[in-house]
């Protein structure tokens, strides 16, 4: 078996992976509520916010992913959203805006100090980033999806590099050594995701006509 076959198999697996393999929205919703509750309680907040790594690379991603997974609007809300944002552009702005907002060291610091900002984080991250991402994914065409993924990847890379390069302690709540560790981790994430994306786009099978299972699942979705 040569490398091409392996790549093909791996990316075919990735390609066949469908949204319905995600946990059910109800489970996700329960998990999200749990994570938010833990985030509010002093002990939980302390645990999540005690280190930059758990704060940025555990709590925030958890909130984003659970927010995206549990997103399941009722028909009324859905038709309202379709009417005001048919192409997902407003969701894109919302998503980018909140991403930028929570990438600012200032807000990360304030979330550890001020309970109101902490609450804002626990609400705005799942909704403003997670749900908006899902809506945007649902509404936009393939090119825009790729642009969103591309820009998100680029931002992770930029942030990682900035954290490593900055001689300043960007977050007053975290030591500079920790900042550099988070930077390194962000670059590792960026490297892995870039590799996956390259393999997926180069070797993935997108020829839907020849793939009956895929054709079926697309018509369902």
Partner 1 sequence: MSITEATSNSVEDSNTHTKNHLNLVKLYLAIGILVYALMMIAGVALRAAQGASYLDMNPQLFYQIMTLHGAGMVGVTGLAGLAVNWYFLSRHVLLSTKIFLSALLLSLIAVAMIIGSILIGKFAAGWTFLYPLPAKSLGIWSIASAVTFAAGLLVLGVAFLLVYLDMAIAISKKYGNLTRGLGLHMLFGRAPVDTSHPTTVVASSMVIIVNVAGIAVGAVVLIMTIANLISPAIAPDALLMKHLIYFFGHVFINASIYSAITAVYEILPKYTRRPWTVSKPFLAAWFAATFMVMAVYPHHLLMDFAMPPWAAIAGQIISYTSGIPVLVVTAFGGLTLVYRSGIRWDACSSLLVLGLFGWAAGVVPAVIDGMIRVNMVMHNTLWVPGHFHFYLILGMLPMVLGFAAYLTTNGEQGKSNKIPVYIYAAGGITLCMSFLVSGSLSIPRRFAVHQESWQWLGNVGAIAGTTVLVGTLLIALPILFRLPGATLSAAR
Partner 2 sequence: MAVYAMNIVLSLSIALGLLAWRTSNFSSFTYETDRRNAVEARPVQLSDWQLQSSNGKTVYLSELSDQLLLVDFVYTRCPTICRALGSRYEQLQRVINSSGNTQITLLSISIDPIYDTPQQLNSYRKRHNGLKDTWQLARPITDHAFQTIISETGLRVIPDKFGGFTHSDTIHLIENRKLTKIKPWSSTDWENIILSGKNS
161 lies in the binding site for partner 1 (CB under 8 A) = yes
109 binds partner 2 (CB under 8 A): yes
From the CB of 4, what's the least distance to partner 1, in Å?
6
Considering only 18, 78, 208, 216, the residue that binds partner 1 (CB under 8 A) is 208
Nearest-CA neighbor of 67 among 108, 22, 32? Answer: 32
Segment interacting with partner 1 (CB under 8 A) among 64-72, 101-109, 175-183, 206-214 = 206-214
- Binds partner 2 (CB under 8 A): choice among 48, 55, 66, 85: 85
| Residue 162 within binding range of partner 1, rule CB under 8 A | yes
Partner in contact with 115, chosen from partner 2, partner 1, none, beta carbon below 5 to 8 Å by kind: none
Closest CA to 163 of 176, 150, 173: 176
Minimum Å gap between C-beta 107 and partner 2 is 7
Handedness of CA 71, 77, 79, 85 (dihedral sign): negative
Per-residue b/e over 180-213, b at no fewer than 16 CB within 10 Å?
Answer: bbbbebbbebbeeeeeeeebeeebbeeeeeebee
DSSP 24: P
Element (H, E) at 94: helix 89-103
Please report whether residue 93 would count as binding partner 2 according to CB under 8 A: yes
Q: Supply the minimum distance, in Å, between the C-beta of residue 183 and partner 1.
A: 12
CB of residue 8 to partner 1, shortest distance in Å: 9
Contact between 108 and 59 (Cβ < 8 Å): no
Q: Which is nearer to partner 1, 127 or 156 (CB)?
A: 156
Give least dist CB 31 to partner 2, A: 28
**Residue positions counted in the chain:** 221
């Amino acid at each position: 078996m040569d490398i091409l076959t392996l790549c093909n198999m791996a990316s075919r697996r990735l390609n066949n992976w469908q949204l319905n393999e995600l946990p059910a929205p109800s489970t996700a919703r329960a998990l999200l509520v749990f994570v938010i509750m833990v985030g509010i309680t002093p002990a939980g907040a302390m645990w999540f916010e005690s280190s930059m790594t758990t704060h940025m690379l555990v709590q925030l991603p958890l909130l984003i992913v659970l927010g995206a997974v549990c997103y399941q609007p009722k028909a009324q809300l859905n038709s309202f959203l379709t009417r005001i944002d048919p192409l997902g552009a407003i969701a894109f702005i919302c998503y980018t805006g909140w991403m930028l907002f929570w990438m600012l060291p200032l807000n990360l610091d304030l979330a550890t100090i001020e309970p109101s900002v902490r609450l804002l984080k626990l609400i705005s991250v799942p909704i403003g980033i997670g749900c908006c991402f899902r809506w945007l994914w649902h509404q936009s065409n393939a090119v825009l999806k790729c642009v969103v993924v591309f820009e998100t990847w680029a931002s992770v890379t930029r942030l990682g590099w900035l954290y490593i390069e900055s001689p300043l302690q960007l977050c007053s709540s975290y030591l500079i050594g920790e900042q550099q560790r988070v930077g390194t981790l962000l670059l590792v994430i960026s490297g892995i995701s870039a590799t996956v994306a390259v393999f997926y786009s180069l070797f993935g099978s997108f020829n839907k006509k020849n793939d009956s299972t895929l054709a079926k699942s697309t018509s369902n979705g």
